[in-house]
Structure 1
């Protein structure tokens, strides 16, 4: 069951990348682009229609609305656009990750946090 869930999550992520790539294609109609923009923005947004802390209903949007939006958006886009962008999405997902760059960004954020903490401690706590 866990492997099936992981496979579905990977497919959902792949479809979001396909939608993102399809947005800039001139063969996609304006209303489909608008719907794709709304679906991708909602999928990546930290704000939900139904907050997650509400029991059971909180996850309805994540489990039903987002996949339904992706399904409908894929139906609005021409098949040849989807196939071309599906190949591009697989290529993007298979590229090696640049862990050095990720580590560099994390290091910069940690150093900034330490610097701000020291500044606040020296200027407000020690007074």
Structure 2
């Protein structure tokens, strides 16, 4: 159980590293875009595979998010990464920030996506 807690804490720290890297001007645009998507998905209350589906529901939390983090971290320059690691450590000690605007934006994106899917299915069934 301790190993799982340590793994989860490391994952959380890496998400904060990506959060800070996204804000850094030295990070290439494609790395910023990918990092932003990974962070948004990790913090999003909505998953591609809902958690109530047995076994498959936790697949994204166990495979997709860590894989996205690993790929995003490889895209970020080493000097930026080391600075972001220090910022992430400090943030974890002080508590994570709450950004209601970004949270609302993420939920809005998911709502628009589901509305688009519903409209597409409706058009196909016509």
CA-based RMSD of the aligned residues comes to 1.4
Partner of 1:69: 68
Q: Distance in 2 between matches of 1:96 and 1:64?
A: 26
Partner of 2:32: 33
Unaligned 5+ segments in structure 2 are 97-126
- Cα distance in 1 between the residues matched to 2:20 and 2:83: 9
Poorly superposed stretches of 4+, deviation over 6 Å: none
Task: Output one character per residue of 1:38-85: Cα deviation in whole Å (capped at 9) or x when no partner.
Answer: 000000001111111111111100100000000000011011111111
CA distance in 1, matches of 2:24, 2:41: 20
User: How far did residue 96 of structure 1 move?
Assistant: 7.1
1:47-58 alignment to 2 at 5 Å?
Answer: 47-58=46-57
1:49, 1:96 → 2: CA distance?
27
In our comparison, the structure showing a higher alpha carbon Rg is 1
TM-score (norm 1): 0.72
- In structure 1, list runs of 5 or more residues that go unmatched: 98-127
Tell me how far apart the structure 1 counterparts of residues 62 and 27 of structure 2 sit (CA, whole Å). Answer: 27
CA displacement at 1:88 relative to structure 2: 1.2
Q: TM-score, normalised by structure 2?
A: 0.73
